[in-house]
Amino acid sequence: MFILGLAAIVPATAGDVRSHPNPTHGYADAVARAKRQIAADDSVSAAGGSTILLTHGVRTPRAVVLLHGFTDSPRQFAALADSLYAQGDNVLVPRLPHHAERGKDASELARLTAAELCRTGDAAVDIATGLGDSVIVLGLSVGGTVAAWTAEHRTEVRRAVVIAPAFEVAHVPSVLERPLVNLGAHVPNYSHRAAADTARPDRDPGFATHGLAQVLRLGLAVRRDAERFSPTSAEVLFLVNANDRTVKTAPVVDLARVWNRRGTAVAVYEFPDSLALPHNIVDPINRPAKSSAVYPVLEALAHGDHPPGWVTVRR
C-alpha cells in the first residue's frame, strides 16, 4: 500500500513538451515532408491507417490539420478531410504515434508518450505552414489536446478547433485526477483489448493505461502552461458535447476563461444533450445519421464561421 501511495504522489513525467519548430520552406518542401511521412506510415500501418494528404497542387489560403483520437487513425477524419478539400483547403491528417500499426493491438499504445504527441503536433504545423497561408488545427480527444498545445506553442497557428479534449476523465473526481495519472504512469501497464473490427484494421479498440496516463499528462501540461504560453496569434474555438461520458467539460471552460482573461480570442460551443452524441462525434461508424448535423458545425468552426444557432455557447 505504501508503494502505491508513493507512486500516486511522485509526478509522472511528460518528457519534453516544449515546441521545436522547423517550418517548411514553401509548398514543395511541405509536400515532400508529408510524402516522406506517408511512406514511413505505409511501411508499418494497417490498411487505412496512414497519414492523409489532400492538396490542390499549389499553396492555398487555408491549410487544415486534422488530429484523430486515441485508439483511432487518420481514417477517422477522412470524410471531413474530403469535404474541406472540396471547399478549397489543403488538408493534412497525420497518424499519431503507435496508432494503427499493422498486426498490433491496443497494447502498443502503452509506448505512447506526451513528448511524442508534441513532436507530432510540431511536425504537422511545420508542414502546414508550407501548404497554406493560414494554418488551422482541428483535433478530437487526444487530438484536441494536441491542437490546444499547438495553439499554445506555435505562433503559425491561426485557429485551433479543440473538440472534447482529453483533459480529465469523466466520473473521476478532479482531486484524484493527478494522483491517478501519476499512478498509471508508474505501475505496470495494463492493456484492455476489445474485439477487433475486421472492416477497420486501422483502429485499436481498447486501451493501455501507460498511454492513457501520458495523454492526460499532456492535458495537465497544457493547463499548467496556460498562464505562461497563452495563444497570442491564434483564435481558439472549443467544442464540447453535453452527452459526453468519456471526458469532462469543466476543465475546458476553466482553460477558456484563463486564456480569455489573458487576451486570447476564445469561444466554447456545446452540442446539446438531445443529439445523444458519443464522445467520438467524428467517426461515421458511431451514429452515421448524426454526421449531417456534426460535419457542418466542424466545417464552420474550421473556417472561422459561426455554427448553427442550435449549438449552445458556453459562458
Instruction: Tell me the backbone φ, ψ of residue 227, rounded to 5 degrees.
Output: -75, -30
Question: Residue 4's pLDDT is what?
Answer: 30
Strand locations in the chain (E): 52-54, 60-67, 90-93, 132-140, 157-163, 191-193, 206-208, 235-241, 265-271, 312-314
* Whole-number Å distance between alpha carbons of 126 and 21: 7
* Whole-number Å distance between alpha carbons of 147 and 143: 6
Cβ 4 vs Cβ 179: under 8 Å: no
Question: Residue 133's pLDDT is what?
Answer: 98
Question: Residue 1's pLDDT is what?
Answer: 38
What domain range is 87 assigned to? Answer: 2-314
Determine the residue type at 149: W
What is the three-class DSSP state of 12? coil
Question: Residue 97's pLDDT is what?
Answer: 97
CA separation, residue 129 to residues 40, 106, 114, 143, 277 (Å): 21, 32, 23, 19, 33
Structural domains counted in the chain: 1
- What is the reported pTM? 0.92
Question: Residue 5's pLDDT is what?
Answer: 40
Determine the residue type at 236: V
Owner of C-alpha cell 487518420: 74
Please return the burial class of 156, using the count of CB atoms within 10 Å of its CB with bins 0-12, 13-18 and 19+: middle
Q: Which long-range contacts (CB under 8 A, 24 or more apart) does 299-307 make?
A: 299/80, 299/83, 299/84, 299/87, 301/138, 301/161, 301/237, 301/239, 301/269, 302/64, 302/84, 302/89, 302/136, 302/138, 302/159, 302/161, 303/62, 303/87, 303/136, 304/159, 304/235, 307/269
CA separation, residue 197 to residues 68, 193, 204, 210 (Å): 18, 12, 9, 23
Instruction: State which H helix or E strand residue 174 sits in.
Output: helix 174-186
Instruction: Tell me the backbone φ, ψ of residue 288, rounded to 5 degrees.
Output: -55, -35
Owner of C-alpha cell 466542424: 298
Length of the chain: 315
Cβ 88 vs Cβ 60: under 8 Å: yes
Question: Residue 206's pLDDT is what?
Answer: 86
pLDDT one digit per residue (tens) for the chain, 315 residues: 333 343 344 454 557 899 999 999 999 999 999 999 999 999 999 998 999 999 999 999 999 999 999 999 999 999 999 999 999 999 999 999 999 999 898 899 999 999 999 999 999 999 999 999 999 999 999 999 999 999 999 999 999 999 999 999 887 767 666 666 766 666 778 887 777 777 788 888 888 989 999 999 999 999 999 988 888 788 999 999 999 999 999 999 999 999 999 999 999 999 999 999 999 999 756 555 577 889 999 999 999 999 999 999 997
What CATH number is associated with residue 249?
A: 3.40.50.1820
* Whole-number Å distance between alpha carbons of 98 and 112: 6
